[in-house]
Structure 1
Amino acid sequence: MTDVALACRNVWKLYGPDPKGFLTRRGVRPSDADIKGAGYVAAVADATLSVARGEIFVIMGLSGSGKSTLVRCLARLIEPSTGEVMFAGRDLLKASPKELIELRRHKMGMVFQHFALLPHLTVLDNVAFPLEVQGVSRKDREARAREMTALVGLEGRELNLPEELSGGQQQRVGIARSLATDPDIWFLDEPFSALDPLIRREMQNEFMRLQSVLHKTIVFITHDFDEAIRLADRIAIMRDGRIVQIGTPEELVLSPADDYVAEFTREAPRAKILSARAIARAKRNGEAIVGNIPADSKVEQFARKVEDSDGALAVHDADGKLVGVVDRAAVMSVLIGTTEAS
């Protein structure tokens, strides 16, 4: 990964009397038994990851897995016990309080599960609030706020108060507010989990539309694997404060690092995740080829085409190179859930 926007290395967050001293004495990598025996609780344990510029990086896990704590450590909203967090060319753990304030005001956008809108302010003033904190003139901040309000589909609602909006509309205001400063990185902590299923789906669509326009670097937290595979370029799965595996949705499904990841992904909709490349087999001698499929297309996109064909379809990569072929048997193995992990 050549263009890294955010990275952390060996980040720990322990709760107890002297976390930093304990980690120093134990050589920074104590076992879970050592941590528990010494009376500490590990909210984040030895986390290392990197996020590419323009990537949607999803951190997921069950409740209590440490995902929200890790993201707050990345933004230094929570003070890590030890480790390194690199952003904007510096280690955030060495940044002064003044530097952190400036970074959060100008470089970071944050959206949380609870909308935290100011109830006495209109939609426009809520969206403009971060710019007011920056000292931007009223004329300029209102112009930017109107632009962001329109971007999230709330044009005409600028003068409404939050109580006059639906839950989905309130979350749109929160998203617009977080984008008003044009942040370099966007942290979203389960932003849609409090919404009804239909509104949640609508907000996921809106999120993907915004990303197609803005191309932000995004760290997104969810406990919902369906949401993760719909949004993510890559996913980090956490358990008991530790990152168990990082990979694309396809890599997690086909090559789970352990039984926990395998169980986590067991009910995943494989037709939406697996690509033609993943299920392709070698072409047999003399085999008739009756069509072509792009290697990165998902099974759900070409299943009908394969089903309606009388033979195998060639799978080609972006350079036109033959990767292999797919046939009805390969597609059916995905649809009925018998694809073997590699």
Structure 2
Amino acid sequence: MTAPFGIRVAGQHRINGHLLFDADITLPAGRWTCLLGRSGVGKSTVLRLIPGLETGGRFTGTVTATDGKPLQGRISYMAQSDLLLPWLSALENVLIGARLRGAQADVARARRLLDRVGLLSHADKRPHMLSGGMRQRTALARTLFENRPLVLLDEPFSALDAGTRADMQELAAEVLQGRTVLLVTHDPSEATRLADQIIVMTARQTSIWPVPDTPALRAIDDPRTFDCQTRLLAHLRAAA
């Protein structure tokens, strides 16, 4: 993996001439940033702007890396939907990026990741044979397999039960250590546990929410973690 780098997204995004957001967001290099805000404010749009994906609107602004280099080939992206190819097995879906690039696929590493997400015994099953949560874990394994310095995650744990969600948060924090991560989430608890930086987004501005003075990954039952998530939830409810 190449050295981590930061990202800045600054500008306005409009859909049919109507302002969706006016944002200035900086992702520190090698850190986790969690982005929260009400539904429809444009969080997923910010995520899609970074790799240059279609957003259904017009962005006037800039997306820049702090090292000044192009972003192509340096991003791993996990969308809200799992985007698994239905004709491939779970293992083949994890390997698809490497095979499309014509690279040597590390099958052993892919199998280890499937084992870590609890799906090694389902490696040969196609997506229609998997539950929603299993499909999401397969997509997570695929994203982690890519081993990129910039990782974009759009509600990657939303289909999981509480216990599995905590397990997958811990796995992602471990595997993505040292990478620049942007996680879109609606869950204040998740953000408080994982984030080095929390950004709260509205249509008109983005603001930094203070995180506890303990390093991520934070203990769920730490009073400082609980206090932060409680205050963050109250803030998000008041802003809705």
**What's the TM-score, normalizing by structure 1?**
0.56
Query: Mind listing any 5+ residue stretches in structure 2 that lack a counterpart?
Result: 214-220, 232-240
Q: Secondary structure at the match of 1:5?
A: coil
Matched, 1:85 2:63: yes
Deviation at 1:274, TM superposition (A): 7.1
Deviation at 1:4, TM superposition (A): 7.0
Matches of 2:24 and 2:4 in 1, distance apart? 13
Query: Mind listing any 5+ residue stretches in structure 1 that lack a counterpart?
Result: 17-39, 93-99, 252-268, 276-297, 299-333, 335-342
The match for 2:5 is 5
* Number of residues of Structure 1 aligned to a counterpart in Structure 2: 218
The match for 1:115 is 82
Larger-gyration structure (1/2): 1
Deviations 1:68-117 (A, max 9, x none): 1112112221476332222273376xxxxxxx6xx2xx321111221111
Matched, 1:239 2:215: no
Q: Secondary structure at the match of 2:83?
A: coil
Give the structure, 1 or 2, with the largest relative contact order (CA under 8 Å, sep 6 or more): 2
Matches of 2:204 and 2:96 in 1, distance apart? 34
Matches of 1:67 and 1:109 in 2, distance apart? 17
Matches of 1:129 and 1:203 in 2, distance apart? 24
Deviations 1:268-307 (A, max 9, x none): x9934378xxxxxxxxxxxxxxxxxxxxxx9xxxxxxxxx
Matches of 1:274 and 1:119 in 2, distance apart? 40
- Equivalent positions of 1:148-163 (< 5 A) are 148-163=113-128
Superposed CA RMSD: 3.0
Identity among equivalent pairs (%)? 29
Matches of 2:25 and 2:193 in 1, distance apart? 21
- Equivalent positions of 1:7-156 (< 5 A) are 7-16=7-16, 40-45=17-22, 47-78=23-54, 81-87=59-65, 89-90=67-68, 103=72, 106-137=73-104, 140-156=105-121
Matched, 1:164 2:129: yes
Q: Secondary structure at the match of 2:122?
A: coil
**What's the TM-score, normalizing by structure 2?**
0.78
Structure with the largest fraction of helix: 1
Moved over 6 A (4+): none
Deviations 1:289-326 (A, max 9, x none): xxxxxxxxx9xxxxxxxxxxxxxxxxxxxxxxxxxxxx
Q: Secondary structure at the match of 1:90?
A: coil
The answer to whether the 8 Å contact 2:144/2:172 transfers is no
